[in-house]
Amino acid sequence: MNTSDTVLNDKSLNEANILDDVPPKEVTFRQALKLWFKLGFLGFGGPAAQIALMHRELVEQRRWISERRFLHALNYCMLLPGPEAQQLATYMGWLMHRTKGGIAAGVLFVLPGLFFLITLSWLYIAYGHVPLIAGLFYGIKPAITAVVVHAVHRIGSRALKNSWMWSIAAASFVAIFALNVPFPIIVLTAALVGYLGGRYVPEKFTVGGGHGAAKKSYGAAFIDDNTPTPEHAKFRWPRLLKIAVVGALLWFVPMAFLTLQFGWDHTLTQMGWFFTKAALLTFGGAYAVLPYIYQGAIGHYNWLTPTQMIDGLALGEANPGPLIMVVAFVGFVGAYVQSVFGADLQFVAGVTAAVLVTWFTFLPSFIFILAGGPLVESTHGNLKFTAPLTGITAAVVGVILNLAVFFAYHVLWPQGFTGSFDWVAALMTVAAAIALVRYKRNVIQVIAVSAIIGLLLKTLA
């Protein structure tokens, strides 16, 4: 049976289920595990594609969750710092199968990507100088520059709806580009401006928003619009306190161990602290936090070079799972190159750092969902971005624009302004941007084609 036949059969089955309007009687934990494992391997294309994939599987085809409940959870995840697609998977798993379901869904959403990215990071650092690999990355770098430009266009078209938003975006760009203001200060300032704007000119700060209300029904669901809140999802202060304490211990114990074992200034300890802060600043998605990562990982700690950062983003884009998984690349390369366990254990150091930064990056997301889920379930209203988050979203546009300029500089002038301008890379960047913005091509397709072109150019040169 070919793919089109499968799609038609799935569609026919879905339509038949809607007609009989009989919801699934039970969703076992084992069934859910199979789905989360599947989504972990198929989660390519960034958060929009991952959320669409979850919607198709959970709402349309399997009807485990109703449309309104799905969007209600998504709107909450959009309010949080961190990868919203992974948080949404955690929320869905928790809603259906308690804490164990949330942990399983969130972990399986990340685990395949972590495994692949560790493997790719090792191949990159060990064999990146080989002509074949070098040629591929020559083509990938312009595509990644175009991907970031596309992110500016995509987020900006949604967020910059009036002169106030444009002003915030411009100010954030000047602050980080010309004044080198730390990213956390930009975020806090934008939140403050949004808060004040929401009080005094609220009509200017209501452009942000979640994903709206449900527009259609796919039939009765296992957890439907009117399904009573499960017992474990009801808000209780003792439960909230328990999760907060356990979450704090899960952060404090490994951080204390690193500090006592290696010292506060050791690379692994600083990685744990740095990526904890990064996890709490990822409003607006992975592209928003990348400037903070390059400010710290490149400018402050010197864990990797600008070129390696661009290459790492390319590997992250081509990897299943959240794009913020690029932190695993940063950790692997930083610990590997610095040989934190000695010259004979570089690979072990890289793997240890990759796992470590993944832990500190995603731990807050689990705490946010397990602690905040009952609050969300207690009110089935339509959550929207607050005014402070609207200000942050506008600032994110300026910050990502700075990231695009940063990438373009290192791709088009690989030896700096004193060197020659790479016209071939410039043309490839423009072509990739047109493919993404004008023709709506998939990111993976653009990167793959650019990699092939780069390989051919280096082979024929």
pLDDT tens digit sequence for 412-453: 998 888 889 999 999 999 999 999 989 988 877 888 899 999
For CA atoms 261, 126, 453, 320, the dihedral sign is negative
Burial class (CB in 10 A: 0-12, 13-18, 19+), 72: buried
**How does pLDDT run across 24-67, given as a tens digit for each residue?**
888 999 999 999 999 998 887 667 678 878 988 999 889 999 98
**313 domain-assigned:** no
Residue 281 has pLDDT above 80, yes or no: no
Q: Which amino acid makes up residue 313?
A: L
Cβ atoms of 103 and 410 within 8 Å: the answer is no
| Domain encompassing residue 431 | 130-181+384-461
User: In this structure, are 34 and 83 located in the same domain?
Assistant: yes
User: In this structure, are 401 and 448 located in the same domain?
Assistant: yes
pLDDT grade for 1, boundaries at 50, 70 and 90: very low
Tokens found for residue 104: 């399983």
**373 domain-assigned:** no
Cβ atoms of 306 and 97 within 8 Å: the answer is no
User: In this structure, are 50 and 103 located in the same domain?
Assistant: yes
**415 domain-assigned:** yes
Task: State the average pLDDT over residues 214-243.
Answer: 85
pLDDT of residue 209: 45
**422 domain-assigned:** yes
User: In this structure, are 135 and 97 located in the same domain?
Assistant: no
User: In this structure, are 29 and 101 located in the same domain?
Assistant: yes
Domain count, the chain: 2
Residue 5 has pLDDT above 90, yes or no: no
Single residue among 73, 107, 141 that ends a domain in this structure? 107
Residue 380 has pLDDT above 70, yes or no: no
**177 domain-assigned:** yes
User: In this structure, are 408 and 446 located in the same domain?
Assistant: yes
Task: State the average pLDDT over residues 191-205.
Answer: 87
Residue 369 has pLDDT above 60, yes or no: yes
**186 domain-assigned:** no
User: In this structure, are 94 and 136 located in the same domain?
Assistant: no
SS3 for 65? Answer: strand
User: In this structure, are 139 and 173 located in the same domain?
Assistant: yes
User: In this structure, are 392 and 434 located in the same domain?
Assistant: yes
Alpha carbons 306 and 294: distance in angstroms, whole number: 8
What string of DSSP letters covers 248-280?
Answer: HHHHHHHHHHHHHHH-TTSHHHHHHHHHHHHHT
Single residue among 92, 107, 122 that ends a domain in this structure? 107
**394 domain-assigned:** yes
Q: Which residue has the higher pLDDT, 134 or 340?
A: 340
Tokens found for residue 434: 């047109």
User: In this structure, are 440 and 389 located in the same domain?
Assistant: yes
> Which of 280, 285, 256 shows the shortest CA–CA distance to 268?
256
SS3 for 223? Answer: strand
Alpha carbons 6 and 254: distance in angstroms, whole number: 47
Q: Note the pTM of the prediction, 2 decimals.
A: 0.80
| Residue reference for tokens 């259609």 | 216
Alpha carbons 89 and 111: distance in angstroms, whole number: 13
**426 domain-assigned:** yes
pLDDT grade for 237, boundaries at 50, 70 and 90: very high
Alpha carbons 185 and 187: distance in angstroms, whole number: 5
Burial 328-348 (b: 16+ CB within 10 A, else e): bbbbbbbbbbbebbeeeebbe
Rounded to the nearest 10°, the torsion over CA 262, 113, 99, 62 is 180
Number of H helices, E strands in the chain: 17, 0
pLDDT of residue 305: 92
Tokens found for residue 46: 């960034």
Q: To 10 degrees, what angle do helices 286-294 and 267-279 make?
A: 150
pLDDT grade for 11, boundaries at 50, 70 and 90: very low
pLDDT of residue 199: 85
Single residue among 44, 75, 107 that ends a domain in this structure? 107
